[in-house]
Amino acid sequence: MAAERTGIVLEVRDEPGALHRLTGVIASHLGNITLVEMLSSPEPGCSRIYFEVELEGASDALMAELSAMPEVRSASAEKSLQKVYGKRIIIIGGGAQVGQVAIGAISEADRHNIRGEHISVDTIPLVGEQPLADAVRAVARLPRAKALVLAGSLMGGEIEKAVREVRAQGLLVVSLNMAGSVPEAADLVVTDPVQAGVMTVMAVADTAKFTVDRLKKKVF
């Protein structure tokens, strides 16, 4: 039986060792933890913890044991974020360019999501070399992020270094055809921002027959 990924939300007393005990119970059920996030809680002295766990079978026994733990106030099984939001495309850069890339990405994602795909689009307009470089590096730490689009008029220096770093970690990087050295470091360079959004979605969608590695040129 293939492992099923389950989301688990726990309301837990905020105390030392709680996370260790929770993960011990999950391990005892042969659950493979693929994601952990600490969420805010409205209850004083409590934390909400979100796990994504791969289980070979139903989660009923695991949920029952977690619910019975003295430090757990509540426990619920949820659909995983992968199943709900799917792959993430992150668009970073100047406000006007970010907006145009988002138009293409959202329109194309809608076409694929209707056919059963799950692709979400996140944007953040930023200016300045260091803030942009920090944001690029942070994308590699975002859960489910599959592609980054850099939308601006001039990017280079520390941003280029950051692009090469995240590409080495397996992230697809698409750049607008802009001044600076970032286009040289990207996987794909697209002049039209709307087309850049469309092509990025096509590159990560399982329902599209488009592979960046098979392109004979990388600038469009």
Per-residue confidence in pLDDT tens, the chain, 220 aa = 557 888 999 999 988 998 999 999 999 999 999 999 888 888 888 889 999 999 888 888 999 999 999 998 999 998 888 888 889 999 999 888 899 999 999 999 999 989 888 999 999 999 899 999 999 999 999 888 999 999 988 899 999 999 999 999 999 999 999 999 999 999 999 999 999 999 999 998 888 777 777 766 687 8
Looking at CATH, the fold of the domain delimited by 4-82 is given as: Alpha-Beta Plaits (3.30.70)
What residue segments make up the domains of the chain, in order of their start? Answer: 4-82, 86-214
> Which CATH number applies to 86-214?
3.40.50.10550
Separation of alpha carbons 204 and 216, rounded Å: 18
Could you tell me which residues come within 8 angstroms of residue 96 by beta carbon, excluding any fewer than 6 positions away? Answer: none
Q: How far is CA 81 from the centre of its chain?
A: 10
Res 162: pLDDT: 94
Lookup: tokens for 111? 């076409």
Q: How far is CA 29 from the centre of its chain?
A: 27
* Start-to-end C-alpha separation, the chain: 44
**CA angle, 141 as apex, 140 and 147 as ends, to 5°?**
35
Res 50: pLDDT: 94
Res 153: pLDDT: 87
